[in-house]
Amino acid sequence: MQLKVPPPAVFLAAVLIMYAGVRLVPSLTLAFPGQASIAVILALAGCLLGGLAVGAFWKDKTTIDPRAPEAATSLVTSGVFRLSRNPMYLGLLSLLLALGMYWGTLSALVVVPVFVWYLTEFQIKPEEDRLKKVFGPSYSEYLEQVRRWI
């Protein structure tokens, strides 16, 4: 399967769909004390996860281009990659949750599971197949030891 739509573009599309939901169905509100604080914490966590993941790739001098996983020159398994095989995507997910929480509508949060499903099926699984070919048994072992998301 070809990796055609980069995850940041999928993220941006999800944000736009969430915003459309906020505007079109504003009555499905979600409001509780501390909501804005939770949104900020989720956003900071998402930025931190993404930043640490990119930093780990730079440290190992390998590509962060999600469209060409076969261009990877090293298998990064340290740092945040000990906790999740996809911390960059988990960071994007955390940012989506933060926006949904900030906007305070259930219609925005409906997009989140669709985002997870789409990335898993059309980005992560094809990426994993390619990385198995590049890194062989060491990647298969990593798959067994570390969860896909969290």
pLDDT, tens only, 74-101: 999 999 999 999 999 999 999 999 999 9
Position 14 in a domain: yes
Q: In whole angstroms, give the CA distance from residue 113 to residue 93.
A: 9
User: Residue 117 sits in which domain range?
Assistant: 8-20+34-63+71-145
Is residue 2, in this structure, part of any structural domain at all? no
In a domain, 3, yes or no: no
Tell whether 26 is covered by a domain: no
Alpha helix (H) ranges present in the chain? 7-24, 35-59, 87-103, 106-109, 111-119, 125-135, 137-145
Confirm whether 108 is domain-assigned: yes
- Is the residue at 101 inside a domain? yes
98 SS3 class: helix
**Average pLDDT in the chain:** 94
Q: What is the total count of domains within the chain?
A: 1
Domain assignment present for residue 95? The answer is yes
**pTM higher than 0.85 for the full model?**
yes
In a domain, 85, yes or no: yes
